[in-house]
Amino acid sequence: MGAATGKLVVLDRDGVINYDADDYIKSPSQWRALPGSLDAIARLHGAAYRVVVATNQSGVGRGLFSARSLERINALMKREVEAAGGALDGIYCCPHRPDEACGCRKPAPGLLRRIERDFGQSLRGVPFIGDKLSDLDAAVAVGARPVLVRTGNGQRTCAALGDRKAEIYADLASAVAALLTERQAD
């Protein structure tokens, strides 16, 4: 990974931090962390990184689960991260359906622009770790570093990269290990 700007990392949620589901993660009881992901976030936190989540959650807009359920899922994720010794400095969610053409649904840059405003920092050069083309495209739209993990939809995404450039790792733990090794070399 190239030199990071500041000490901020943006993560997608489903397929990166936790297992994804074709029919959506609709309740806290369905949320399960991927192996090594909570420890990876704790390692980032221990290295003084601010960790922010940017996630599309169209299940809310589709009426499959409520905004309150989404809040409860994210609260569980936050508790699990904290129990592992990490912290999440922000969770940004787009609840809209794809057909709503909002500006916050990845690959649109709206969520990432909000993060920039809220943190007072450009995301140029900041790693954005995701498992879908929409994550990579959103990263490119704001000048962030697109990083792809093979968990979740990552394997399919690798096959569909085309001309897109991305750093590719097996999982969040591998991506974080590379980032922290790079940081030590700087």
Q: Give a yes or no: residue 46 inside a domain.
A: yes
Q: Give a yes or no: residue 65 inside a domain.
A: yes
Q: Give a yes or no: residue 74 inside a domain.
A: yes
Residues whose CB is less than 8 angstroms from the CB of residue 72 and which lie 6 or more positions away in sequence, other chains included: 27, 28
Count of structural domains, the chain: 1
Q: Give a yes or no: residue 17 inside a domain.
A: yes
Q: Which secondary-structure segment (H or E) carries 134?
A: helix 133-141
Q: Give a yes or no: residue 101 inside a domain.
A: yes
Q: Is 137 a catalytic residue?
A: no
Q: Give a yes or no: residue 3 inside a domain.
A: no
Other CB atoms within 10 Å distance of the CB of residue 32: 11
Q: Give a yes or no: residue 28 inside a domain.
A: yes
Q: The domain containing residue 172 runs over which residues? A: 8-185
Per-10-residue mean pLDDT for the chain, 186 residues long? 65 98 95 98 96 97 97 98 98 96 96 97 97 98 98 96 95 97 79
CATH code (residue 54): 3.40.50.1000
How much is the pLDDT for 6? Answer: 55
Q: Give a yes or no: residue 43 inside a domain.
A: yes
The C-alpha R_g of the chain, in whole angstroms, comes to 15
Tens digits of residue pLDDT in 16-38: 999 999 999 999 999 999 999 99
Q: Is 99 a catalytic residue?
A: no
- pTM recorded for the entire structure: 0.94
